[in-house]
Amino acid sequence: MKIDSIKDGIVLDHIKAGRGMLIYQLLHLEELDCSVAILKNVPSKKMGKKDIIKIGDADLQLDFNAIGYVDPDITVNVIRNDVCVEKKHVALPEELENVIKCKNPRCITTTEQELPHIFRLADRHEGIYRCIYCDTKASRHL
Amino acid sequence: MRSLIDILELSVEELDELMNTADDIMAHPAKYSEVCHGKKLATLFFEPSTRTRLSFEAAMYELGGNVLGFSEAASSSASKGESVADTAKVVSCYADIIAMRHPKEGAPYVASINATVPVINGGDGGHNHPTQTLADLETIRHELGRLTDLTVGFCGDLKFGRTVHSLIAALSRYNGVKFVLISPVELRLPDYVRRDILVTNRVPYKETTDLEAVLPELDVLYMTRIQKERFFNEEEYLRLKDSYILTADKMKLAKEKMAVLHPLPRVNEISVAVDKDPRAAYFRQVLYAKYMRMALIMKLLDIAVEIDAKEEA
Ligand SMILES: [Zn+2]
């Protein structure tokens, strides 16, 4: 299968195979007017197979924290005039705002809907996040 | 400006400092009777807890300050849908410090990031209740003279008892502390507390269902209430509850110098006959709680009073 290479845009590369759609939803890419392509199960030397997302807008502000949370191994390439001008490695972010919701029914966020759902990284090694209000753990197994 | 939401926000040094202040207040109450003159404490109790509210109010009065507030959500603006954040901003205009109790976990934290005065968490659901833990620590230190090298037993409902979890976390920071966890299997300490606190900090502990067997080892026995609704059936409850009741007879097995604590209110898990025992510390614990709240209010309001040097024996 052949997909046109991108002239101006953002390429999310090295997405764990099968997670492309999840990233698409988490970044709300369905709301964009520009072209968006999800490539699934692309052969990769490093990973065996991987997913790739191509977005036809180089100036788009992406929530890198959300990307890092779902898959800290993703690389973000910004392409302008066929040249990759920026290559970013995302990592597990220190803080997540409105990426995941607290599932504790006793948490203050359940009664005060205006409050942002904020989670902080409690253990980088284990990838554990905790709600800043009630300390409930969030599991990264989405 | 600082608040107190979780007991672990205080370092061991700060805990010592608070306990030293509390001891000094007990020894020289007159010295402290006007230190909060002209200051106001707002007690915002979104759920009733008369005991905790009275303790905060008594603490502020004994420091020469004043108190305002409400004791249930129905009489506050929350019943009109005001957010915790807005309440905190508004009350900051009236009071110098806030003590808040709320049924939702994290509400006092939300208040603390929106208030312009210090906020003390007076209990948020099953989550944190740091002034209870301050009282527990001061009770142990004052009764036994130390917080290190202790064998501390917890008895009863270790599954849902937040005071137990917080005290275990706080005591785990002291050297030579061992825990004995005494409960029916159904009400064992939750795995996450065991893993995150005991295993992570390599704190020695053992679990048992037999209070009498371990009583002779204990320096501290922290009793909790076993609630009937925690059990699957009435029969199970009736079968188990008696083995977790502390009686004068069982106290004969305990060390001569030890302390029995209880967060109160008690129902029947400690027989009234034990109250006369000098080792029964649970009513003095209420007093220590008030002194620790006084020390905390002073600390958060940056009121420093020279502490008299301890007379060493
Ligand atoms: Zn939460």
pLDDT, tens digit, 9 for 90 and up, residues B211-229: 999 999 999 999 998 877 7
Domain with CATH 3.40.50.1370 in chain B: 7-126+289-312, 131-280
Cβ–Cβ < 8 Å for B253, B215: yes
Question: Mind listing the domains of chain A with CATH numbers?
Answer: 9-89 (3.30.70.140), 95-139 (2.30.30.20)
Which residues from chain A sit within 8 angstroms of residue B127, using beta carbons? 106, 134-135
Instruction: Note if B51 is an active site residue.
Output: yes
- Where are the extended beta strands (E) located within chain A? 9-16, 36-44, 48-55, 75-80, 83-89, 95-97, 118-123, 128-131, 137-138
The set of residues, in sequence order, having a beta carbon less than 8 Å from that of B52 and lying 6+ positions away, is B45, B101, B122, B123, B131, B132
Regarding predicted confidence, which is higher, B136 or A125?
B136
Which of A108, A132, A135 is facing B104, going by the closest CB pair?
A108
What is the model's pTM?
Answer: 0.87
Q: What is the pLDDT of residue A4?
A: 62
The shortest CB-CB distance from A115 to any of B103, B110, B126 is to B110
**ipTM of the prediction greater than 0.90, yes or no:** no
B194 is catalytic: no
* Ligand 1 mean position, distance from CA A122 (Å): 14
Please report which confidence band the pLDDT of residue B145 belongs to, taking 50, 70 and 90 as the band edges: very high
> Which residue among the candidates B39, B40, B101, B141 is catalytic per the annotation?
B101
Give B303: exposed, middle or buried? Use CB within 10 Å, 0-12, 13-18, 19+.
middle
**What class is the B131-280 domain?**
alpha beta
Identify the CATH homologous superfamily for domain B7-126+289-312: Aspartate/ornithine carbamoyltransferase (3.40.50.1370)
Residue B295's Cβ-count burial label (10 Å; 0-12, 13-18, 19+) is buried
- The per-residue pLDDT for B172 is 96
Rounded to a whole number, what is the distance in Å from the CA of A107 to chain B's nearest CA?
5
Q: Is B142 a catalytic residue?
A: no
C-alpha gyration radius of chain A = 17
| Rounded average pLDDT over A50-62 | 91
